[in-house]
């Protein structure tokens, strides 16, 4: 059974909602793009566009790999969907992809969103 955090991230992806949470002690504002599991743990590839992080956050935002067990205070909000401007490298964050917001995902997700 997926955790409540996993379910909220899936809901955010389906509705193109932003996620606000605390991760590793820092407030984060993200858009989850890929959701699934890595090494038996729930994981998400997200695009962080605001908040903080241990390594800092570039003004334009940055791709981040989240272990969902480290996310707390998760809530969804309306706002512009952000997913960066460049996708040059294959992702390695999520080994078993359950959901991908890209309807033409190359990762063969277990579940798909309807094509627009």
pLDDT at 116: 45
SS in 3 state form for 43-93?
A: EEEEEEEEECCCCCCCCCCEEEEEEHHHEEEEEEECCCCCCCCCCCCCCCC
pLDDT tens sequence for the chain (116 residues): 899 999 999 999 999 999 999 999 999 999 999 999 999 999 999 999 999 999 899 999 999 999 999 999 999 999 999 987 666 678 899 999 999 998 888 888 998 776 54
Q: What are the domain boundaries of the chain?
A: 4-100
The pTM of the full predicted model, rounded to 2 decimals, is 0.92
Residue (of 44, 33, 18, 14) closest to 114 by Cα position: 14
């Amino acid at each position: 059974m997926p955790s409540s955090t996993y379910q909220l991230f899936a809901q955010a992806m389906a509705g193109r909602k932003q996620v606000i949470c605390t991760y590793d002690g820092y407030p984060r504002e993200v858009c989850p793009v890929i959701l699934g599991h890595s090494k038996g743990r729930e994981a998400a590839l997200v695009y962080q566009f605001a908040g903080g992080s241990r390594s800092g956050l570039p003004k334009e935002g940055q791709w981040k790999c989240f272990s969902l067990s480290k996310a707390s205070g998760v809530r969804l909000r309306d706002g512009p969907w952000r997913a960066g401007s460049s996708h040059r490298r294959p992702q390695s964050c999520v080994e078993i992809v359950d959901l991908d917001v890209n309807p033409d995902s190359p990762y063969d997700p277990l579940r798909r969103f309807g094509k627009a």
